[in-house]
Structures are given as structure tokens and as C-alpha cells.
Amino acid sequence: MPIILTYNINGIRAAIKKDLPKWINSTSADIVCLQEIKAKEEQFDKEIFEEYGYSSYIKSAEKPGYSGVAIISKIKPQYIEYECGISKIDSEGRFIRLDFENYSVLSVYFPSGSSGDLRQAFKIEFLNLFSEYIKNLKLRIPNLIICGDFNICHQAIDIHNPTRNKNTSGFLPEEREWLSQFLNSGFTDVFRFFNKDPHHYSWWSYRARAREKNLGWRIDYIMISNNLQKKLKRSVILSQAVHSDHCPVLVEIDD
């Protein structure tokens, strides 16, 4: 099995200008899940990734310059699922799945609820719909690798100021409880499998030199089906990557 990377790149065109393809190649990643590409398929420069041996699979949002996910892979998938079949999710370009011989990889961009009550309500609806989708998918494909920006900090150690943020979208009790239930349904948070220490984050505000001070949130995850645990080799947060306000998470899985 491969080295897999997940990265919310906050705009593929801007990230490419910061040498994203070359950096990805330097990680030796076989499969890279991208979120928030903010581009239509014709605006996504597939050729620059092809130079490094990656094929690109893209699901854009209907709204220009918004959301969107992609997976680039050196391994040829057996099947590509561009939609989860839920129109309000698919129209926002939040889901893509590649099926390989012994496992499936998903790139998912969970909604943010920070802009107000309507989006927070959509976020909660998304969480429930996604749970149901995964529950049904696991019946057919037991080995799932779910990568993405979940827009949720799971525990107090995943956020720089848990007390001040306890009523903030992304750290609300109901969101954290959903994530606990999701893990309890048969998934492993691969970074936490190897590392139980605080102060490891994957997103920082652009304001107030938050990244420099490491005042961040850990909201980007790779979740694997529990039966893949025994194949886990390592998982790291690559905080030195600066193509975005997020940074990537990497997992290496043995064959």
C-alpha cells in the first residue's frame, strides 16, 4: 500500500505558483487528496502533475472559485466515484473517491459553519448524511482511507485555546461528539495513533501571526478503517509546507 497525503491547498492555482507539484513529488506520495481547489477542471493544470507521474481526478463546485476536491495518483484506480449521490453535497464539490484493488481513498471537504446559522445547520446535516454514506459504503468496501479537511477539532489538545473556542464552530460539543461517534464506528485517526502530544495543528489563521506563534487548529485528518491499523507505518503533520493556511498530513501504510 502507498504513501498518502491530504492537503487543503486553498486554491490550486495559487499553490502551483508556490511550487506545489515539485513539493508533492519530494514527499514520494503515491496518492494525494486535495481540498478547496477553488477551480473548474479546465483551470486545474493536470499536465504539470503528469510531469511527476500523477494522474488527476477532479470534482469542482458549481460555483466558480469555491470549494472543490481532487485526487492525484501515481496508482491507477479501478473505479472513480465523482459524486456521493447527495445533490447538495455534490453541487459544492465536496467529495471524490478512488477505488483501488484492496482499498478506497476518499478526498472530502467538510463544510465550515463559521459564516452563520444556515451554514452551521448545513454542516450538521452534512455530518449525518456523510455518516450514513460511509456506513453503507463499508458494507461493500471494508478498507476505507478517508482524507480531508473535516473542519472539526476533536479534542482540547487539537486546538490552541479550547476554553475560548468552546462555543466556536469547529469545536462545538455536537461536532466533537459526531467525530467521536464516527471513530467509534470503526475508524482510526492515524496521526493520533502515533502521536498523543498537544500543539500539533494543521490550520492557522492568517491573522495576528498565528502560524508563527503556533496558535492553530488540527482539523485535517486521515481516517482509516480499523482493520488497516496493523499496516500503519507512520503518520506525520508536515507543518513546514506553506502553500496554504493549512498544512498536509501524511500516512504510510505497509502492503
Q: Which residues are catalytic?
A: 149
Cβ atoms 214, 199 nearer than 8 A: yes
Q: Provide the 3-class DSSP secondary structure of residue 160.
A: coil
Beta strands 31-35 and 3-8, pairing class: parallel
| CB contact set of 45 (below 8 Å; sequence gap of 6+) | 12, 13, 16
What ranges make up the beta strands (E) of the chain?
A: 3-8, 31-35, 55-59, 69-73, 79-81, 95-99, 104-109, 144-149, 187-189, 203-204, 216-217, 220-225, 232-237, 249-253
Kindly report the number of other CB atoms within 10 A of residue 15's CB atom.
Answer: 23
Written as nine digits, the cell of 41 is 477542471
Cα–Cα distances in angstroms (integers) from residue 240 to residues 19, 46, 198, in the given order: 14, 25, 17
